Every structure is written in structure tokens, then in C-alpha cells.
Amino acid sequence: MKKKQFKAESKKLLDMMINSIYTHKEIFLRELISNASDAIDKLYFRSLTDDSVKMNRDEFCIMLDIDKEARTLTISDNGIGMTAEELESNLGTIAKSGSFNFKNENADNENADDISVIGQFGVGFYSSFMVADKVEVVSKAFGEEKANKWISSGADGYTIEECEKENAGTVITLHIKEDTENEHYSDYLEQYRIDELVKKYSDYIRYPIKMEMSHQVPDKDKEGEYITEVSVETLNSMIPLWRKSKSEIKPEEYNEFYKEKFMDYSDPQLVIHSKTEGQATFNSLMFIPENPPYDFYSKEYEKGLQLYSNGVLIMDKCADLLPDYFSFVKGLVDSADLSLNISREMLQHDHQLKIIAKAIDKKIKNELKKLLANDREKYDKFFSTFGTQLKYGVYANYGMEKDGLKDLLEFKSSMSDGYTTLKEYVERMADSQESIYYACGESVEKIALLPQLEAIKEKGYEVLYCTDEIDEFAIQMLMEYDGKHFANICKDDIDLSTDAEKEAINKKNEDSKELLDKIKNVLGDKVSAVKFSNKLGSHPVSISAQGYVSLEMEKVFSQMPGANQGMKAQLVLEINSEHPIAEKLKKADDEQLKKYVTLLYSSARLIAGLDIENPTQFSDLIAEMM
């Protein structure tokens, strides 16, 4: 019989399997059982509408057989089966899944990619070559007369020939490899080991996975002696993980389930498993990944939870179940209240689905609040990964969701090394303090250098450090927390002084009107006001913003496409009335004043993180004065 060659890429993958040093070779069984279950699904679905399928739901099963003498492990199913062409195209070519492309990209590091490909995707049928040196597949497609047998001993190709088989379905026989120094392949010929693997990986497969099991039982006729009893047993519980009670599930089971189902290498940071009864009855099992999914920040990313109706998948990514600010959450919802035949369009208007979505949102928030209260380190880690999403959530939809999210927010601050919540900030507020102060900048280090900060810190007040672009937008949307308003320390209306101090500075500004006007004239439209200030500590100048648009917001707006000129901050040049520079300005002649003001204004812009119009002039002026 003519040997056919595998397609080039399939051959490469096959080689990889045959020579694999992967330590979790045991996954081959999970892969073959999943294929068998998929094949049964197909025939079962067909039986719902096609009377020629004379099978009842409870007749479908997957059989495992061990023959120790022959060193074979057989996996049989009575599913849809494959025609000769299907055997050829399905098993002769590696599935079109992403796994193979992934391998090519990493082709220079053989071992590493071996593990990552297998670990990340599983590689289906070919994984059987990790434990078998010869594989036979006998399959009869539903509705066909003839069956076919596909045989391969690995990389040298495969044969297909016609054969007899009574019923539709597929029988896969693995000729298990001989043991080596490092690998005890004979394990896969032990019933306890196979039983263990089924329970570990395939417990929630919805069809029974059966195997002949032998047990030693006391002999009724002969006291003290044992006989071997053989019976066919169902190894899997068939209950999906999410339908089991929490107390029955080990953390590893959740982790395995998550990684396999949602294709992640890392265990999730948080598992949320719950059963909800009431207006809607459903089970949900959700996960917060350790890292953002690789395509999370791309347009292709689709949020959503899997939707099941009574254990049967009806939609893979139901976006309506998750608000945007929780788009990183993975998981599933299983409800008996939803009809199996519901269409996507109908789902959008489904009342039941809306109730479920609301309950899911609440559940995730509650779990995060619990985490915040009980395991701060873990919460902080979560927040550093996904916190920005929550801040966007506060800002989005005109702040509609802000109340539900405000207690989940965290900020860096002048008083804590890590993160602080708004509640913690307010609890620490001094009696005399009226506002929640915040400052914006690129980094904590840069904010800490702002001249405005000194005076506020001197008062013993805490300042939130906003380093995310979205921070200030979210804060503006919040407006207040616990009755305390937010105040940007870089805005000109910040005032911490006592009444006497206020009076003094007002008087100073009035008395210096002529000088201040002159300075304003030098600067023209660049600033909307110039004034003396008593809140700059030891620093000579600063720029603050007047009105709604702050300096940071201007920076964000200016980076947006079609930058909007109207969205500019109105700048106020503040000069420290206590600094020697104030005297110097008073005494300067017009020519000098022009230069001083240009210098002061430029340096104030630099401090605020704004660029300056003419850096050359700035440098020339400094050199001239020196």
C-alpha cells in the first residue's frame, strides 16, 4: 500500500511530538477525549433534527480499553466519525489552529517552543505521538457504508485503507512506547493512572467515559482469599466544574480549567465562582487574569463571557454580560432561564440577560471590595494591572457608574509608598483640611518636584499623585468624595492661607498692580493673569491653570487627533512674593524686566511639564545674565 506523506508543517509538528521532552505528556488523553466528545456532540445535535440518527442521548459514550500484553490504549466513541477524505484532511494536515504559526515565530529555540506550544494550545490529535510510536484510527462516518483505517508510525507518513466497522464512530488505538530511562510510558497502561487522568482533565465531559475496571474483592467461598471482579465503570462525574459546589473544587482545578479554556499560561489572580438565585437563577465562574490578555489593547479584543443554557454552550463571547470597565474578566455564565435557540439579536433585548448582567457586575465589584479589605497586596497588584480600566469606567457615560466604582479606585500619594484609596485619604485628613488635594504629572518623581507641593505638604496635607492620563478626568467626574471636593494643587484658586495671610497677599497684589500689569503686557495672550503668591514655599515661580481645563488636561487634549485650540488651559503666572526675585522685578528697568519675565515664564512652563516656544532664546538669556 502506498505511503502518503504528511504536509510539511504537519511533519514538523509531528517530529516535535515524537521527540518531545514536554513533562505533561499526559495531556494526550485529554485531547483525544475532547475530540471524541466533539464528535459525539455533532451526532447528538444532528439527532435532534434528523430521524435517521437512531440514537438516544444516553447511548452516547466514550470507551477506554487497556491491553497490557499488546501495550495498547484504545479510545472509542460513537460520534459522527470521519470519511476517508476527512481522515486524510483532518489527520494528514495539522489543524488550522493558531498553534502552528506560533511555533514558526519561535523556531530558534526548540525546547522552549515545544513546551509553550503544547502548554498554551494543546496540539490535538498529534499529541498522541508523545506517548505512542504507532497510532491506528478506524473511523466510520455517519451515513456511510464503508469504514476506513488510518495508520501512522510517525514522521514517515501514513496509510489509509478501507475496512469494516459496524456503527458510526471512531476507534483510536495507541501503541504505547517502550519505557526509557526517563519516561515510564507503561503508566498509561495502568487503569488507576487512566482513571486519575480522566478525573483530572476530563471530568466535566458531558458524555460518560467508561472503562473496564478490575477490583480485588473478598472471596465469599474461601475465607481470607480474594478474587478479581471486573465491571465497566463511568470515570467522569459529567458535572461541569461550575456546577459543582465550591467546597468540592481544589484551587488547582480552577486554575487548570481557566488555563485550558481561556488559553493562558498563568494562573488567574482571582477566581469568582457563584450560584445566584432570585430574579434570575444562574451559575457563574469568572476569572481575573494575572496579565492583560495579549490582544487586550488592540481593536480586535472582544470582551464577554461564555453563555451556557443548562450546560450547553450557546454563545462564546456574550459582550452584554460585562461592562467595559470589567472587559478583562474571563469566564462563563450558565442559566436554565435562557432558551437554547435564542439568537444574538434577541439576546440583546432579553430581559433575563439584563438581570444576569446586573448581578454579574455587582458580584465582581463585591469580590474586588472583599479582596481590597482582606488581601491588600493582591488588590494593589490587581489595580496596577487593571486599575486604569476602572478609572475609565468612572469617566465614561457621563459618570453614570462612578458611585459603584469610586471605592475601588486607588492612587499613589504623598503619604504612602503604595496605593491609597479615597476612603483612606479622607480618614487621614487633618481637621482644618477641606479639600482632597491632587497633583498631576508624568511620574511620581516629577510630581514630587512641583513648587506648589511644598506649601501644601508644609501644612501637613496629603496630595494624591495622578500619573495616569485618565486620572484627572475621572476625578473631575467624581467631583467629590464623602462630601470633600477635589482640588488640583496646580490650579490658581487653591488657597491654604489664613485670613490674615490672604489679606496681606491681596494688598500686595493691589499695591503692585502697576508692575503686574507691565509683566502681563510682556507676556500678552500667553497668560490670562499674573499675580504674587504666598504658596510657593522657597520656589520663585509657577504656572497654574484657571477654569475647567487643567495643565494635564491640556496636554491630553493637545495629543488628540484634530487638537482643539479651545481646549487650552488658561495660564496664570504666579510669582513668589517672598522670594528675592520679587524685589529684583520691582527695581528692573523696562528692558531688564522683559528679559526677566521671559526667563521666569519659560522656566515656570518647564516646571509644569509644558514645552517652551523658543528654547534657544531661553538659553541665550541665561548665558547673558551669567
Report the DSSP beta bridge partners of residue 288: 270
Residue 421 Cβ vs ligand ADP, minimum distance, rounded to whole Å: 45
Name the burial class of residue 380, with classes exposed (0-12), middle (13-18) and buried (19+) by CB atoms within 10 angstroms of its CB: middle
Q: Enumerate the H helices of 298-450 as residue ranges.
A: 344-348, 351-374, 376-399, 402-405, 422-428, 444-448
Beta strand 529-533 with 570-576 is: parallel
Grid cell locating 100:
502552528
**CB-nearer residue toward ligand ADP: 75 or 272:** 75
The alpha carbons of the chain give a radius of gyration, in whole angstroms, of: 35
- Three-state SS for 266? coil
Site string for ligand ADP, 271-300 (x = CB under 6 A): ------------------------------
Q: Enumerate the H helices of 409-564 as residue ranges.
A: 422-428, 444-448, 451-458, 469-478, 499-511, 513-523, 551-559
Segment near ligand ADP (CB under 6 A), from 79-87, 103-111, 325-333, 492-500? 79-87
Residue 77 Cβ vs ligand ADP, minimum distance, rounded to whole Å: 5
**CB-nearer residue toward ligand ADP: 31 or 552:** 31
Grid cell locating 579:
522670594
Backbone angles phi, psi at 150, to 5 degrees: -110, 130
Among 33, 79, 271, 490, binds ligand ADP (CB under 6 A): 79
Q: For the segment 13-42, give every residue that binds ligand ADP (CB under 6 A).
A: 31, 35-36, 39
Among 90, 148, 389, 598, binds ligand ADP (CB under 6 A): 90
Q: For the segment 132-171, give every residue that binds ligand ADP (CB under 6 A).
A: 170
Residue 144 Cβ vs ligand ADP, minimum distance, rounded to whole Å: 13
3-state secondary structure 101-113: HHHHHCCCCHHHH
Tell me the C-alpha distance between 416 and 435, whole Å: 18
Name the burial class of residue 184, with classes exposed (0-12), middle (13-18) and buried (19+) by CB atoms within 10 angstroms of its CB: exposed
**CB-nearer residue toward ligand ADP: 170 or 389:** 170
| Secondary element (H or E) of residue 138 | strand 132-140
Residue 368 Cβ vs ligand ADP, minimum distance, rounded to whole Å: 35
Tell me the C-alpha distance between 469 and 453, whole Å: 20
- Closest C-alpha to 280, from 337, 222, 226: 337
**CB-nearer residue toward ligand ADP: 93 or 274:** 93
Cβ contact 412:419 at 8 Å: yes
Distances (CA, A) of 359 to 39, 278, 323, 356: 35, 10, 11, 5
**CB-nearer residue toward ligand ADP: 122 or 268:** 122
Residue 167 Cβ vs ligand ADP, minimum distance, rounded to whole Å: 13
Site string for ligand ADP, 97-116 (x = CB under 6 A): x-------------------
Among 14, 44, 66, 77, binds ligand ADP (CB under 6 A): 77
Site string for ligand ADP, 480-499 (x = CB under 6 A): --------------------
Residue 341 Cβ vs ligand ADP, minimum distance, rounded to whole Å: 24
Segment near ligand ADP (CB under 6 A), from 74-82, 175-183, 326-334, 551-559? 74-82
The residue number whose beta carbon is nearest to ligand ADP equals: 124
3-state secondary structure 8-63: HHHHHHHHHHHCCCCCCCCHHHHHHHHHHHHHHHHHHHHHHHCCCCCCCHHHCCEE
Site string for ligand ADP, 360-399 (x = CB under 6 A): ----------------------------------------
Residue 26 Cβ vs ligand ADP, minimum distance, rounded to whole Å: 16
Residue 76 Cβ vs ligand ADP, minimum distance, rounded to whole Å: 9
Report the DSSP beta bridge partners of residue 563: none
Residue 125 Cβ vs ligand ADP, minimum distance, rounded to whole Å: 4
**CB-nearer residue toward ligand ADP: 43 or 553:** 43
Residue 36 Cβ vs ligand ADP, minimum distance, rounded to whole Å: 5
Tell me the C-alpha distance between 361 and 364, whole Å: 5
Give 548's DSSP letter. S
Segment near ligand ADP (CB under 6 A), from 48-56, 77-85, 110-118, 511-519? 77-85
Site membership for ligand ADP, residue 95 (CB under 6 A)? yes
Among 44, 125, 287, 395, binds ligand ADP (CB under 6 A): 125
Tell me the C-alpha distance between 70 and 30, whole Å: 22
Q: How many CB atoms lie within 10 A of CB 363?
A: 16
Residue 47 Cβ vs ligand ADP, minimum distance, rounded to whole Å: 16
**CB-nearer residue toward ligand ADP: 80 or 515:** 80
**CB-nearer residue toward ligand ADP: 122 or 441:** 122
Residue 296 Cβ vs ligand ADP, minimum distance, rounded to whole Å: 24
Query: CA-CA-CA-CA torsion for 585, 590, 591, 597, nearest 10 degrees?
Result: 40
Among 124, 304, 331, 540, binds ligand ADP (CB under 6 A): 124
Residue 31 Cβ vs ligand ADP, minimum distance, rounded to whole Å: 6
Q: What does the binding site for ligand ADP look like in residue numbers (CB under 6 A)? A: 31, 35-36, 39, 77, 79-82, 90, 95, 97, 124-125, 170
